[in-house]
Structure 1
């Protein structure tokens, strides 16, 4: 079992467990259709956001029985997004591969926060959880997320044409990935806060 040291700090951000009081910030971006366009599910209701915050309030442990780690991304006291680390592989959970994902408030787009948070969670996946491979899947038309993957040093391994039934339509699916031995030791931009 891996226990991730929380909070994770970067130059500008804090990645931490959700906590009571985060609901307004999370609802502000998780309820927007354009924000959730490329992630599973529909825009969240207030009640669904309250459930999400409550369920994720004890994050830190990640293992095959608890394969999902979703952390709030805080900037200057405001939750501006969240990141996902999911122990899995394209062939099922094996504890040696992890999928990463992210979602951010639209008013903070273009400032590098998604890349900074994704870099921190990728570093945690390799250094603390001990996975062999980190990957992300996205629609190729999601160019902002494709750029995040590229900034992390991920390669595009495949594009499955109309390979995903997503939100009531067939969509293309791109897979980006990075191996542990490709992750630079200098990439450690995050460290647990004291």
Structure 2
């Protein structure tokens, strides 16, 4: 189940996975202290539940419906109104990886982007050293478009980025199957 992030209720659970080196290895955030996460999520821009204009980011909590346990969080970036473009990203606690939650949540974000915002194209960018994340995007219906070899100095080393994307038309065709 996806819901808005509650900065107080979710802080301990988010800290449990966002403070881990292995979880943050391939994503921009570095492992965060509890205090730093509390500071980040005090900003109402980080906990918005509706996107009203390009340039905004929607961050949502992922919880298990049966227990209400927070198991991850994800984002939808609305990059451009003119180009009708967006991007998805996600983090799932290691003990909950491999169960399809990231794929299911990503599909929900794709639906929001295409059906709710009228986007034309949504991308997902991963580090090549994280093939499990590539499988998530592929299962969500995205296709690999590019491999940008050592394109970014990232956390002290060169990183190769793999870009995935899906167009609105492709999304609609998949949903009609």
Instruction: Report the CA distance between 1:169 and its aligned residue.
Output: 1.4
Taking structure 1 as the reference length, the TM-score comes to 0.82
Is the 1:156–1:176 Cα contact (8 Å) retained in structure 2? yes
Is the 1:62–1:69 Cα contact (8 Å) retained in structure 2? no
Indicate the residue corresponding to 1:116 in structure 2. 104
Residue 106 (structure 1) aligned with residue 97 (structure 2): no
Indicate the residue corresponding to 2:120 in structure 1. 132
- Distance in 1, matches of 2:52 and 2:92, equals 22
* Equivalent residues in 2 for 1:58-137, closer than 5 Å: 58-64=48-54, 66-75=55-64, 76-88=67-79, 94=82, 96-137=84-125
- Point out where structure 1 has 5 or more consecutive residues left out of the alignment: 1-13, 189-194
If asked which structure has higher relative contact order (CA below 8 Å, sep 6+), I would say 1
- Distance in 1, matches of 2:154 and 2:126, equals 11
Instruction: Report the CA distance between 1:59 and its aligned residue.
Output: 2.3
The structure 1 segments of at least 4 consecutive aligned residues displaced by more than 3 Å after TM superposition are 184-188
* Equivalent residues in 2 for 1:23-38, closer than 5 Å: 23-38=11-26
Taking structure 2 as the reference length, the TM-score comes to 0.89
Give 1 or 2: higher helix fraction: 2
CA RMSD of aligned residues (A): 1.9
- Point out where structure 2 has 5 or more consecutive residues left out of the alignment: none
Number of positions where the alignment pairs a residue of Structure 1 with one of Structure 2: 171
